Amino acid sequence: MEAASSSPTQCRYSYEVYKETADWLLAHTEQRPKVAVICGSGLGGLADMLSDKICVPYKDIPHFPVSTVMGHAGQLVFGKLQGRECVCMQGRFHFYEGYNIHTVTYPVRVFFLLGVDTLIVTNAAGGLNDSYNVGDIMLIKDHINMPGFAGQNPLCGHNDERFGVRFPCMSDAYERALRDLAKQTAKEQGCDSFLQEGVYCMLAGPTFETIAECRVLQTLGADAVGMSTVPEVVVARHSGMRVLGLSLITNKVVTDYESNDKANHEEVLKTTQRRTHDLQRLVSNLIIKI
Ligand code: HPA
């Protein structure tokens, strides 16, 4: 990672490094998307719905990180949904994979420099809210940045004003108008019966939560818990991008010491497969309206 600075007081990458990546991409596609989608694990099928596709493997993009998780294609897909240009990240970078927090969010700054003004993020999450069912889709209305509490905020370090202000507001991170549009779209396609709206809490992972941890998160007001999304949203908001977040509730967390249930990755994948089509349709119908 020769482009990265190791000084803790520096932003890990300079503006010029992000710019080199963006300029390379601008030279490799004529598309100029305004909407970017970060596809969660197993939710990358949206990219397959695009027409006039241009796939760019991460490994071919200067300075771009490379994904390590199985089932992640690791490519940017530029294309059109009923004529509307968008770019999808098939495969995201998780903090638990060992990436630096600035590396996790690297693509978002590249999107900003490409001219993207709206970011849609999807993820798999565990349901903390007792009224949620496995298979529900939760519109994220707010988040709890637990790694941020522990000093892992992607905006720590030197602030480059070309990206945004030193102290950005996060109270309006998930735009209400986009959430309203998502609710209306869900209703039109008949999936409003399993649409929820709530607070997403990010933990670093990769361990699933203990029973005590789940109870703490419930007490804190979190409705769903996952291991991604928040760093990318923080960086997107820093640069003034509009954000919509969608969590697929793939499992219910365990909060009872008498229970024999155990959180596991297989259940996460199974639910993702079951709902991926609904979620993809929701996102694609939404993009057309943005
Ligand atoms: N906890 C954390 N992350 C997750 C979960 C969970 O229960 N399910 C899917 N991602």
Q: Is 227 a catalytic residue?
A: yes
Cβ atoms of residues 122 and 283 within 8 Å: yes
- pTM, two decimals, is 0.93
Residue type at 39 in one-letter notation:
C
Cβ atoms of residues 22 and 110 within 8 Å: yes
147-187 pLDDT, tens digit per residue, is 999 999 999 999 999 999 999 999 999 999 999 999 999 99
- Residues 79-98 have a mean pLDDT of 91
Q: Tokens 């990546």 map to which residue?
A: 21
Q: Is the pLDDT of residue 201 over 70?
A: yes
Confidence grade of residue 73 (pLDDT, cut at 50, 70, 90): low
- Mean pLDDT score of the chain: 91
Concatenated DSSP letters of 244-261: EEEEEEEEEPP--TT---
Q: Is the beta carbon of 126 within 6 A of some atom in ligand 1?
A: yes
Residues 92, 203: Cα–Cα separation, whole Å: 16
Catalytic residue among 5, 15, 49, 96: 96
Cα–ligand 1 centroid distance for 274 (angstroms): 16
Q: Which architecture does CATH list for 15-289?
A: 3-Layer(aba) Sandwich (3.40)
Q: Is the pLDDT of residue 69 over 70?
A: no
Q: Is the pLDDT of residue 2 over 80?
A: no
111-145 pLDDT, tens digit per residue, is 999 999 999 999 999 999 999 999 999 999 999 99
Q: Is the pLDDT of residue 8 over 80?
A: no
118 strand-pairing partners: 35, 242
Describe the chain by its helix, strand, coil percentages, rounded to 5: 35, 25, 40
13-27 pLDDT, tens digit per residue, is 999 999 999 999 999
Cα–ligand 1 centroid distance for 54 (angstroms): 32
Residues 244, 157: Cα–Cα separation, whole Å: 26
Beta-carbon neighbour count of residue 254 at 10 Å? 17
Q: Is the beta carbon of 225 within 6 A of some atom in ligand 1?
A: yes
Q: Which of 41-50, 224-233, 246-255, 281-290 has the lowest mean pLDDT?
A: 41-50
Domain positions in the chain:
15-289
Residue nearest to atom 5 of ligand 1 (CA): 126
Cβ atoms of residues 91 and 72 within 8 Å: yes
Beta-carbon neighbour count of residue 266 at 10 Å? 8
124 vs 121, 139, 169, 171, 230, CA distance in Å?
A: 11, 12, 26, 23, 13
Concatenated DSSP letters of 114-151: HT--EEEEEEEEEE-STT--TT-EEEEEEEEEHHHHTT
In the chain, alpha helices (H): 15-28, 101-104, 106-114, 146-149, 176-188, 211-220, 230-238, 265-289
Residues 255, 122: Cα–Cα separation, whole Å: 25
220-269 pLDDT, tens digit per residue, is 999 999 999 999 999 999 999 999 999 999 999 999 998 988 888 888 78
